[in-house]
Structure 1
Amino acid sequence: MNKVFIGGSIRLLRLNDDIKQRLNNIVQKGYSVLIGDANGVDKAVQQYLFDKNYRNVFVYCVGEKCRNNVGHWKTKWVKEHSKVKDFHYYTIKDLEMVKDTNYGFMIWDTKSKGTLNNIINLLRENKTVIVYVSKDKIFYTLHALSDLEKLLAKCDKNSLESLERKLQLSQRAKKKQEEFNFAQQYNPADSASLRR
Protein backbone atom coordinates (compact mmCIF):
# COMPACT_ATOMS: atom_id res chain seq x y z
CA MET A 1 0.00 0.00 0.00
CA ASN A 2 1.30 3.46 -0.89
CA LYS A 3 2.00 5.86 1.94
CA VAL A 4 2.40 9.63 1.73
CA PHE A 5 4.05 11.81 4.38
CA ILE A 6 2.22 15.15 4.46
CA GLY A 7 3.71 18.14 6.25
CA GLY A 8 4.28 21.85 6.12
CA SER A 9 4.79 25.10 7.92
CA ILE A 10 3.18 25.82 11.28
CA ARG A 11 2.54 29.35 9.97
CA LEU A 12 0.17 28.10 7.25
CA LEU A 13 -3.25 27.65 8.78
CA ARG A 14 -5.56 27.28 5.77
CA LEU A 15 -5.68 24.96 2.78
CA ASN A 16 -6.60 26.44 -0.58
CA ASP A 17 -8.48 24.62 -3.35
CA ASP A 18 -5.26 23.46 -5.07
CA ILE A 19 -4.07 21.71 -1.92
CA LYS A 20 -7.53 20.26 -1.24
CA GLN A 21 -7.63 18.81 -4.75
CA ARG A 22 -4.31 17.01 -4.14
CA LEU A 23 -5.65 15.70 -0.84
CA ASN A 24 -8.80 14.52 -2.63
CA ASN A 25 -6.56 12.57 -5.05
CA ILE A 26 -4.78 10.92 -2.10
CA VAL A 27 -8.14 9.99 -0.55
CA GLN A 28 -9.52 8.69 -3.85
CA LYS A 29 -6.46 6.46 -4.34
CA GLY A 30 -6.71 5.16 -0.78
CA TYR A 31 -3.15 6.08 0.19
CA SER A 32 -2.14 5.87 3.83
CA VAL A 33 -1.48 9.36 5.17
CA LEU A 34 1.40 9.81 7.61
CA ILE A 35 1.17 13.14 9.39
CA GLY A 36 2.62 14.87 12.42
CA ASP A 37 0.78 16.41 15.34
CA ALA A 38 1.88 20.05 14.97
CA ASN A 39 -0.31 23.10 14.50
CA GLY A 40 -0.39 24.77 11.10
CA VAL A 41 -0.43 22.49 8.05
CA ASP A 42 -0.54 19.27 10.10
CA LYS A 43 -3.66 20.33 11.97
CA ALA A 44 -5.33 21.85 8.87
CA VAL A 45 -4.78 18.66 6.85
CA GLN A 46 -6.01 16.55 9.76
CA GLN A 47 -9.19 18.64 9.94
CA TYR A 48 -9.76 18.32 6.18
CA LEU A 49 -9.30 14.54 6.25
CA PHE A 50 -11.56 14.29 9.29
CA ASP A 51 -14.26 16.30 7.49
CA LYS A 52 -13.90 13.86 4.57
CA ASN A 53 -14.35 10.97 7.03
CA TYR A 54 -11.03 9.51 5.84
CA ARG A 55 -9.77 6.80 8.18
CA ASN A 56 -6.48 5.75 6.55
CA VAL A 57 -4.42 8.21 8.62
CA PHE A 58 -1.57 7.66 11.06
CA VAL A 59 -0.51 10.49 13.38
CA TYR A 60 3.12 10.52 14.52
CA CYS A 61 3.74 11.94 17.97
CA VAL A 62 6.77 12.42 20.20
CA GLY A 63 6.87 12.98 23.93
CA GLU A 64 4.16 12.30 26.47
CA LYS A 65 1.22 13.90 24.70
CA CYS A 66 -0.03 13.99 21.11
CA ARG A 67 -0.64 17.69 20.40
CA ASN A 68 -3.21 17.20 17.64
CA ASN A 69 -5.13 14.11 16.53
CA VAL A 70 -8.37 15.57 15.19
CA GLY A 71 -9.79 12.25 13.93
CA HIS A 72 -8.63 10.07 16.82
CA TRP A 73 -6.68 8.03 14.28
CA LYS A 74 -4.03 5.44 15.08
CA THR A 75 -0.89 6.99 16.48
CA LYS A 76 2.75 6.04 16.18
CA TRP A 77 4.73 7.14 19.20
CA VAL A 78 8.35 7.98 18.53
CA LYS A 79 10.66 7.78 21.52
CA GLU A 80 12.87 10.76 22.30
CA HIS A 81 14.65 10.95 25.62
CA SER A 82 15.60 14.62 25.51
CA LYS A 83 13.75 16.93 27.87
CA VAL A 84 14.48 19.94 25.65
CA LYS A 85 11.67 20.40 23.11
CA ASP A 86 13.75 21.98 20.37
CA PHE A 87 14.08 21.54 16.60
CA HIS A 88 15.95 18.24 17.00
CA TYR A 89 13.30 16.89 19.39
CA TYR A 90 10.48 17.22 16.85
CA THR A 91 12.67 16.19 13.91
CA ILE A 92 12.88 12.65 15.34
CA LYS A 93 9.25 11.88 14.42
CA ASP A 94 9.70 13.46 10.99
CA LEU A 95 12.62 11.10 10.31
CA GLU A 96 10.35 8.16 11.20
CA MET A 97 7.76 9.36 8.69
CA VAL A 98 10.50 9.74 6.04
CA LYS A 99 11.56 6.15 6.71
CA ASP A 100 8.00 4.77 6.65
CA THR A 101 6.67 6.58 3.56
CA ASN A 102 6.82 6.09 -0.21
CA TYR A 103 6.23 9.75 -1.14
CA GLY A 104 6.21 13.21 0.39
CA PHE A 105 3.71 16.05 0.00
CA MET A 106 5.05 19.23 1.58
CA ILE A 107 3.34 22.62 1.77
CA TRP A 108 6.10 25.21 2.08
CA ASP A 109 6.11 28.95 2.74
CA THR A 110 9.80 29.33 1.64
CA LYS A 111 10.76 30.09 5.26
CA SER A 112 10.04 26.95 7.32
CA LYS A 113 13.28 25.14 8.14
CA GLY A 114 11.36 22.07 9.35
CA THR A 115 9.54 21.65 6.05
CA LEU A 116 12.72 22.16 4.03
CA ASN A 117 14.52 19.68 6.28
CA ASN A 118 11.79 17.11 5.55
CA ILE A 119 12.10 17.75 1.81
CA ILE A 120 15.87 17.20 1.98
CA ASN A 121 15.55 14.04 4.07
CA LEU A 122 12.96 12.58 1.68
CA LEU A 123 15.20 13.30 -1.31
CA ARG A 124 18.22 11.79 0.46
CA GLU A 125 16.16 8.59 0.77
CA ASN A 126 15.35 8.74 -2.98
CA LYS A 127 11.68 9.45 -2.36
CA THR A 128 9.71 11.70 -4.68
CA VAL A 129 8.35 14.86 -3.08
CA ILE A 130 5.52 17.08 -4.30
CA VAL A 131 6.11 20.57 -2.89
CA TYR A 132 3.45 23.25 -2.95
CA VAL A 133 5.08 26.67 -2.66
CA SER A 134 2.35 28.69 -0.98
CA LYS A 135 3.53 32.17 -1.95
CA ASP A 136 3.53 31.27 -5.69
CA LYS A 137 0.66 28.77 -5.57
CA ILE A 138 2.71 26.34 -7.67
CA PHE A 139 3.43 22.61 -7.29
CA TYR A 140 6.92 21.26 -7.88
CA THR A 141 7.87 17.61 -8.23
CA LEU A 142 11.33 16.83 -6.86
CA HIS A 143 13.18 13.57 -7.46
CA ALA A 144 16.75 14.41 -6.40
CA LEU A 145 18.68 16.86 -4.24
CA SER A 146 19.73 18.68 -7.41
CA ASP A 147 16.05 19.63 -7.87
CA LEU A 148 16.27 21.80 -4.72
CA GLU A 149 17.76 24.69 -6.69
CA LYS A 150 14.42 25.59 -8.26
CA LEU A 151 12.83 25.67 -4.79
CA LEU A 152 15.56 27.66 -3.11
CA ALA A 153 15.32 30.22 -5.93
CA LYS A 154 11.88 31.07 -4.50
CA CYS A 155 13.42 32.25 -1.20
CA ASP A 156 14.30 35.87 -0.55
CA LYS A 157 17.93 36.55 0.36
CA ASN A 158 17.33 36.80 4.12
CA SER A 159 15.32 33.57 4.24
CA LEU A 160 17.93 31.73 2.21
CA GLU A 161 20.74 32.92 4.48
CA SER A 162 18.73 31.89 7.54
CA LEU A 163 18.00 28.43 6.08
CA GLU A 164 21.68 28.00 5.16
CA ARG A 165 22.73 28.91 8.70
CA LYS A 166 20.18 26.62 10.39
CA LEU A 167 20.29 23.63 8.04
CA GLN A 168 23.80 23.92 6.52
CA LEU A 169 22.37 23.33 3.06
CA SER A 170 25.62 23.62 1.10
CA GLN A 171 27.42 21.16 3.41
CA ARG A 172 24.60 18.62 3.15
CA ALA A 173 24.54 18.89 -0.64
CA LYS A 174 28.33 18.50 -0.78
CA LYS A 175 28.22 15.45 1.51
CA LYS A 176 25.59 13.81 -0.71
CA GLN A 177 27.73 14.48 -3.80
CA GLU A 178 30.73 12.86 -2.07
CA GLU A 179 28.57 9.82 -1.22
CA PHE A 180 27.48 9.61 -4.85
CA ASN A 181 31.07 9.82 -6.11
CA PHE A 182 32.15 7.10 -3.69
CA ALA A 183 29.27 4.85 -4.72
CA GLN A 184 30.06 5.02 -8.42
CA GLN A 185 31.43 1.82 -9.94
CA TYR A 186 35.18 1.77 -10.51
CA ASN A 187 36.02 1.72 -14.21
CA PRO A 188 39.68 1.08 -15.17
CA ALA A 189 39.10 2.87 -18.48
CA ASP A 190 38.33 6.06 -16.55
CA SER A 191 41.65 5.98 -14.73
CA ALA A 192 43.48 5.19 -17.98
CA SER A 193 41.96 8.23 -19.64
CA LEU A 194 43.12 10.38 -16.72
CA ARG A 195 46.74 9.33 -17.30
CA ARG A 196 46.68 10.44 -20.94
Structure 2
Amino acid sequence: MAMIFLGGSRDIFELPVPAIERIGAIVAAEHGVLVGDAPGADAEMQGLLAGYNYEHVGVFHAGPEPRNNLGDWAAYPVPPPHGAEGFAAHASKDREMARRADFGLMVWDGVSPDTCINVLCLAMIGSPCVVCDTMRGMMATVRNTADWRAMLHHAGPEVRRAVESRMSDDERFALEA
Protein backbone atom coordinates (compact mmCIF):
# COMPACT_ATOMS: atom_id res chain seq x y z
CA MET A 1 0.00 0.00 0.00
CA ALA A 2 1.45 3.33 -1.06
CA MET A 3 1.32 6.20 1.41
CA ILE A 4 0.05 9.52 0.07
CA PHE A 5 0.67 12.85 1.84
CA LEU A 6 -2.37 15.06 1.27
CA GLY A 7 -2.14 18.73 2.11
CA GLY A 8 -2.62 22.25 1.00
CA SER A 9 -3.11 25.87 1.79
CA ARG A 10 -5.08 26.96 4.83
CA ASP A 11 -6.92 29.53 2.72
CA ILE A 12 -8.53 26.88 0.49
CA PHE A 13 -12.05 25.99 1.58
CA GLU A 14 -13.24 24.33 -1.60
CA LEU A 15 -11.22 21.63 -3.30
CA PRO A 16 -10.87 21.88 -7.08
CA VAL A 17 -12.46 19.09 -9.10
CA PRO A 18 -9.11 17.56 -10.21
CA ALA A 19 -8.05 17.20 -6.55
CA ILE A 20 -11.40 15.62 -5.66
CA GLU A 21 -10.96 13.17 -8.53
CA ARG A 22 -7.41 12.31 -7.43
CA ILE A 23 -8.58 11.67 -3.87
CA GLY A 24 -11.35 9.43 -5.26
CA ALA A 25 -8.68 7.45 -7.14
CA ILE A 26 -6.58 7.19 -3.96
CA VAL A 27 -9.59 5.75 -2.12
CA ALA A 28 -10.42 3.37 -5.00
CA ALA A 29 -6.82 2.09 -4.97
CA GLU A 30 -6.92 1.75 -1.16
CA HIS A 31 -3.73 3.74 -0.60
CA GLY A 32 -2.82 4.96 2.85
CA VAL A 33 -3.36 8.66 3.50
CA LEU A 34 -1.30 10.96 5.71
CA VAL A 35 -3.03 14.28 6.36
CA GLY A 36 -2.61 17.20 8.71
CA ASP A 37 -5.16 18.69 11.06
CA ALA A 38 -5.19 22.30 9.83
CA PRO A 39 -8.28 24.21 8.76
CA GLY A 40 -8.55 24.84 5.04
CA ALA A 41 -7.37 22.23 2.54
CA ASP A 42 -6.49 19.63 5.21
CA ALA A 43 -9.97 19.79 6.73
CA GLU A 44 -11.61 19.80 3.28
CA MET A 45 -9.64 16.67 2.33
CA GLN A 46 -10.56 15.05 5.64
CA GLY A 47 -14.23 15.84 4.99
CA LEU A 48 -14.07 14.21 1.57
CA LEU A 49 -12.35 11.10 2.97
CA ALA A 50 -14.86 10.91 5.84
CA GLY A 51 -17.67 11.08 3.27
CA TYR A 52 -16.19 7.99 1.66
CA ASN A 53 -16.02 6.32 5.11
CA TYR A 54 -12.38 5.73 4.24
CA GLU A 55 -10.37 3.98 6.93
CA HIS A 56 -6.74 4.11 5.77
CA VAL A 57 -6.05 7.60 7.11
CA GLY A 58 -3.63 8.94 9.70
CA VAL A 59 -4.02 12.48 11.04
CA PHE A 60 -0.80 14.21 12.12
CA HIS A 61 -0.91 17.04 14.62
CA ALA A 62 1.44 19.21 16.66
CA GLY A 63 -0.87 20.01 19.59
CA PRO A 64 -2.09 17.70 22.33
CA GLU A 65 -5.12 16.77 20.17
CA PRO A 66 -5.82 17.25 16.45
CA ARG A 67 -7.61 20.47 15.56
CA ASN A 68 -9.56 18.47 12.97
CA ASN A 69 -10.05 14.71 12.78
CA LEU A 70 -13.31 14.44 10.86
CA GLY A 71 -13.18 10.65 10.43
CA ASP A 72 -12.04 9.82 13.95
CA TRP A 73 -8.94 8.22 12.46
CA ALA A 74 -5.68 7.29 14.16
CA ALA A 75 -3.93 10.44 15.31
CA TYR A 76 -0.16 10.85 15.33
CA PRO A 77 1.28 13.61 17.51
CA VAL A 78 4.54 15.18 16.40
CA PRO A 79 5.42 17.64 19.17
CA PRO A 80 7.03 20.87 18.02
CA PRO A 81 10.42 22.02 19.25
CA HIS A 82 10.27 23.75 22.63
CA GLY A 83 9.05 27.33 22.28
CA ALA A 84 8.06 26.96 18.62
CA GLU A 85 5.04 28.96 17.47
CA GLY A 86 3.14 29.46 14.23
CA PHE A 87 4.73 27.78 11.21
CA ALA A 88 7.59 26.40 13.29
CA ALA A 89 5.14 24.59 15.58
CA HIS A 90 3.65 22.66 12.65
CA ALA A 91 6.68 22.25 10.40
CA SER A 92 7.91 19.12 12.21
CA LYS A 93 4.63 17.27 11.64
CA ASP A 94 4.58 18.29 7.98
CA ARG A 95 8.15 17.14 7.45
CA GLU A 96 7.34 13.83 9.18
CA MET A 97 4.42 13.21 6.83
CA ALA A 98 6.66 13.97 3.84
CA ARG A 99 9.30 11.59 5.21
CA ARG A 100 6.76 8.75 5.43
CA ALA A 101 5.09 9.39 2.06
CA ASP A 102 5.64 7.65 -1.23
CA PHE A 103 3.68 10.34 -3.09
CA GLY A 104 2.02 13.66 -2.41
CA LEU A 105 -1.02 15.63 -3.48
CA MET A 106 -0.94 19.32 -2.58
CA VAL A 107 -3.60 21.92 -3.31
CA TRP A 108 -1.65 25.17 -3.48
CA ASP A 109 -3.09 28.66 -3.68
CA GLY A 110 0.13 29.94 -5.26
CA VAL A 111 1.15 31.87 -2.15
CA SER A 112 1.26 29.49 0.85
CA PRO A 113 4.93 29.03 1.79
CA ASP A 114 4.08 26.05 4.02
CA THR A 115 2.50 24.08 1.17
CA CYS A 116 5.43 24.99 -1.07
CA ILE A 117 7.89 23.64 1.51
CA ASN A 118 5.87 20.42 1.79
CA VAL A 119 6.34 19.93 -1.95
CA LEU A 120 10.08 20.59 -1.54
CA CYS A 121 10.35 18.00 1.24
CA LEU A 122 8.77 15.39 -1.01
CA ALA A 123 11.00 16.39 -3.96
CA MET A 124 14.13 16.09 -1.82
CA ILE A 125 13.46 12.40 -1.16
CA GLY A 126 12.25 11.63 -4.67
CA SER A 127 8.56 11.23 -3.79
CA PRO A 128 6.53 12.66 -6.68
CA CYS A 129 3.91 15.24 -5.74
CA VAL A 130 0.95 16.33 -7.83
CA VAL A 131 0.43 20.04 -7.23
CA CYS A 132 -2.96 21.49 -7.97
CA ASP A 133 -2.14 25.20 -8.37
CA THR A 134 -5.45 27.02 -7.88
CA MET A 135 -3.95 30.44 -8.65
CA ARG A 136 -2.85 29.41 -12.14
CA GLY A 137 -5.61 26.81 -12.65
CA MET A 138 -3.23 23.99 -13.50
CA MET A 139 -1.81 20.73 -12.21
CA ALA A 140 1.79 19.58 -12.43
CA THR A 141 3.85 16.78 -10.97
CA VAL A 142 6.96 17.81 -9.04
CA ARG A 143 9.48 14.96 -9.04
CA ASN A 144 12.72 16.68 -8.00
CA THR A 145 14.18 19.95 -6.80
CA ALA A 146 14.52 21.27 -10.38
CA ASP A 147 10.76 20.82 -10.85
CA TRP A 148 10.21 22.51 -7.48
CA ARG A 149 12.35 25.49 -8.51
CA ALA A 150 10.26 25.80 -11.68
CA MET A 151 7.07 25.77 -9.58
CA LEU A 152 8.42 28.44 -7.25
CA HIS A 153 9.56 30.55 -10.22
CA HIS A 154 5.90 31.33 -10.96
CA ALA A 155 5.32 32.66 -7.45
CA GLY A 156 5.93 36.30 -6.65
CA PRO A 157 9.05 37.58 -4.88
CA GLU A 158 7.19 37.91 -1.55
CA VAL A 159 6.27 34.22 -1.69
CA ARG A 160 9.83 33.24 -2.56
CA ARG A 161 11.15 35.29 0.38
CA ALA A 162 8.61 33.69 2.76
CA VAL A 163 9.57 30.21 1.58
CA GLU A 164 13.29 30.91 1.94
CA SER A 165 12.79 32.27 5.46
CA ARG A 166 11.07 29.03 6.55
CA MET A 167 13.43 26.54 4.94
CA SER A 168 15.61 24.35 7.11
CA ASP A 169 19.37 24.16 6.58
CA ASP A 170 18.91 20.71 4.99
CA GLU A 171 16.41 22.13 2.52
CA ARG A 172 18.73 24.98 1.60
CA PHE A 173 21.60 22.54 1.16
CA ALA A 174 19.51 20.28 -1.10
CA LEU A 175 18.83 23.22 -3.40
CA GLU A 176 22.52 24.10 -3.62
CA ALA A 177 23.57 20.56 -4.51
TM-score w.r.t. length of structure 2: 0.90
Paired residue for 2:125?
A: 125
1:18-167 mapped onto 2 (5 Å cutoff): 18-155=18-155, 160-167=156-163
- How far 1:152 moved relative to its partner? 2.4
Question: For residues 116-150 of structure 1, what are the alpha-carbon distances to aligned partners after superposition, in whole Å with 9 as ceiling and x for unaligned?
Answer: 01011111111111100012321101111111243
- How far 1:38 moved relative to its partner? 0.1
| Pair 1:97–1:177, CA change in 2 (3 A) | closer
The structure carrying a bigger helix percent of its residues is 1
In structure 2, C-alpha distance between the alignment counterparts of 1:36 and 1:23, rounded to whole Å: 15
In structure 1, C-alpha distance between the alignment counterparts of 2:94 and 2:16, rounded to whole Å: 24
SS state of the match for residue 141, structure 2?
A: strand
TM-score w.r.t. length of structure 1: 0.82
| Pair 1:103–1:17, CA change in 2 (3 A) | same
Q: Which stretches of structure 1, 4 residues or longer, exceed 6 Å deviation after superposition? A: 169-174
- How far 1:161 moved relative to its partner? 1.8
Question: For residues 31-84 of structure 1, what are the alpha-carbon distances to aligned partners after superposition, in whole Å with 9 as ceiling and x for unaligned?
Answer: 101000000000000001101111111000112121000000011111224244
Paired residue for 1:176?
A: 174
State the structure with more CA Rg: 1
Look up the equivalent residue of 2:143 and give its one-letter code.
H
Work out the percentage of aligned pairs sharing the same amino acid.
Answer: 27
CA RMSD of aligned residues (A): 2.1
Alignment coverage as a number of residue pairs? 175
SS state of the match for residue 96, structure 2?
A: helix
